[in-house]
Amino acid sequence: MKKVLNIAVATPLIKVGNLKYNADEIIKVLDESKADLVLFPELNLTSLYCGDLFLKDEFLDRTLEEANRIIKTTKYSGLFTIGLPLKVNQYVINGLLVVNNNKVIGIEMKETLTLEEQRYFDDFIYSEMNVNIFGKDLDPFGVLYKLKGLYLAITLDGMYGAPDLNNYYLSQLGADVILHASGDYEVLDSGSVKVRTLTELSSRFNQVYVYASPSKSESSSKYVYAGDMIICQNGEVIKEATNLYDNENYIELAVELNKKSVFERADIRSSESVEIPTVDNEFINLSPYPFLEGNDPFVAANVLNTLLVQAMIKKIESMPKHLQKVIIGVSGGADSTLALLVAEQALEKMGLPPTNLIGVSMPSENSLEISSKRALELIDGVKATKLVIPIDKHLKVHLEAINHTNLDTAYENAQARIRTNILMDLCNKYGGFMVGPSDLSEIALGFTTYNGDASSMYGINSGIPKTMVLTILEFLSKEVYLDLEKVIYEVAQAKPSPELLKNQVTEDVLGRYDINDFILYHFIKNDWGRPEFLKALPEVFKIDLDEAKVYVNRFLRRFYQNQFKRNVLPEGPNVLDISLNPRDGFRLAGDNEVDY
């Protein structure tokens, strides 16, 4: 028996912690909808990033008040969801109110919690709960909802949590449609993974699968969000859009379904055993560029650039109007060039003048003339406000004050700290925030100055390894900044150097960035240790075993010794599937004494 269900997915733009604004946006969407049901993402009333506000009773009470206002105010009478933190007896859950005919008919909760979520939210045994919302007793969690003769099930568990097991359970209950209110973020290749997973689920369990992830207006303090809206049926995507890539906040589609018999159960296919041919060397087909994840370099660069620009937009939008200028120290090197170009693109998309971007050249006696020339050409090329502040006088006064004359680490770091000091002061003078250039490779190896270039108000490159920084620059030179193609190409081809000493070359100290990035990826992502690296490096990079040992030992020594720098990293977007962010990535005490 065929049924038609008009399904909508919405990812309205929200403000972190602004309950009234968010509720008003939800009401606008509902009042304009003609669908039978509207699915919103996880925690769409509050945002995902309210932190310890989730522990405050006043905030939780206000959240529930705004949810009640949505229900009482909207003209919409169909079924919809509201994602919010919810007090249930002595517990706080990452919850979802299910509303129909302007009444709460059910509550769902997120069951698979990350370590960070466990700080704020509880999970518990359902049978022990007696839930009363707005004076009504409810049967909570894991029930089916009937709408137009069809059965709906709702889940909050993340795409990368336990969707397969959860969907098996919901399918066994007899669900015709699964609504997935997600909190998933966007990284390189995650879009294709989501689509592949959702189509597989809809095919395997013979269901319509409806998916919503948080909008691009979510906090970019750690991740970037796409606002995915996807409807799948029988293994195919039948409607999709995002507000990151398509600038859409709402999709709607009338879907025809065959009603399941009450006795029908999903046909769960088991994987057939396949004999996989073995090779003598398990590392023979490893890519030397694992961060590309098999993607075309320019395709990957385009995605990463889009995510970085959106992260910058969100950061600028979060600042008060009088503090929306972006201050960047531009050296003529790769990292500061990428930060400059990302900021320029963000301001353009926001309709703000390029003069809101302040590019600051701070040459010293160690700066290469060609680097300073490139820096000025780049600043002029994006029509940013240009400042040139030589630091030699500042450096001389400072070194005399501390009675220091050696050309050593103190001399090098003094230059980095003077530059950071200047940039921070300019933020106060002009009304803005400082964007730091440090990339993921430098952060991993500790090749940054504490309270120097390691410090900023937003680390835009902190999730991008050096090899990918160079790939993104090449993409931008060919596809976006054609007028600056020559200078950007020259920047990408130049040997990396902090230029804190004469004739300084970074790879003379750290070794090749491609090898270090390979080690970084597999060390964090795949939990490799010395045995794996000493087998893989000679095979992949054609170096001998002794050189491989040098690379591995140097990486591990620098990685562990410099954890104290990572523990105070500024906020910045994670756009790949590994993170060194101390708040949700690799965690370790700064005073560790790891035997590396």
Whether 269 shows a pLDDT value over 70: the answer reads no
Q: Which residues of 166-201 are buried (b: 16+ CB within 10 A; e: fewer)?
A: bbeebbeebbbbbbbbbbbbbbbbbbeebbebbbbb
The encoded tokens of residue 484 equal 């600056």
What is the CATH architecture assignment of 2-258? 4-Layer Sandwich (3.60)
**Nearest by Cα to 199 from 147, 431, 191:** 191
What pairing do the DSSP bridges indicate for beta strands 325-329 and 250-258?
Answer: unpaired
For residue 459, pLDDT over 80 is answered with yes
Of 310, 198, 209, 300, nearest in space to 255 by CA: 209
Cα 322 to Cα 552: distance, rounded to the nearest angstrom: 48
Tokens at 81, concatenated:
């969801």
> 558 by DSSP, 3-state: which?
helix
pLDDT at 279 > cutoff 50 = no
Q: 209 has which bridge partners?
A: 178, 232
CA–CA distance, 413 with 434 (Å, rounded to integer)? 19
How far apart, in whole angstroms, are the C-alpha atoms of residue 193 and residue 56?
A: 36
DSSP string covering 134-195, please? TTEEE--SS--EEETTEEEEEE---TTSSHHHHHHHHHHHT-SEEEEE----B-TTHHHHHH
Between helix 466-479 and helix 513-525 the angle, nearest 10°, is 110
What digits encode the pLDDT tens for the residues 399-450?
999 999 999 999 999 999 999 999 999 999 999 999 999 999 999 999 999 9
Q: Which one is predicted more confidently, 170 or 77?
A: 77
Architecture of the domain whose range is 290-502: 3-Layer(aba) Sandwich (3.40)
Q: Which two tokens stand for residue 23?
A: 């509720």
**Distance (Å, whole) CA 487 – CA 477:** 8
What is the reported pTM?
0.88
The string of pLDDT tens digits covering residues 498-553 is 999 999 999 999 999 999 999 999 999 999 999 999 999 999 999 999 999 999 99
What would the two tokens of residue 284 be?
């023979």
Confidence class for position 369, pLDDT limits 50, 70, 90 = very high
Specify the range with the lowest mean pLDDT, choosing from 298-302, 324-328, 464-468, 589-593.
Answer: 589-593
Domain ranges of the chain: 2-258, 290-502
**Cα gap 295→275, rounded to integer Å:** 27
Question: Which residues in 293-313 are b (16+ Cβ under 10 Å) and which e?
Answer: bebebeebbbbbbbbbbbbbb
**Fold match flag (2-258 vs 290-502):** no
Residues contacting 105, CB < 8 A, separation 6+:
79, 98, 99, 138, 145
Instruction: For residue 429, count CB atoms less than 10 angstroms from its CB and return exposed for 0-12, middle for 13-18, buried for 19 or more.
Output: exposed
CA 51/CA 584 separation, integer angstroms: 13
- What token pair was written down for 276? 């996989």
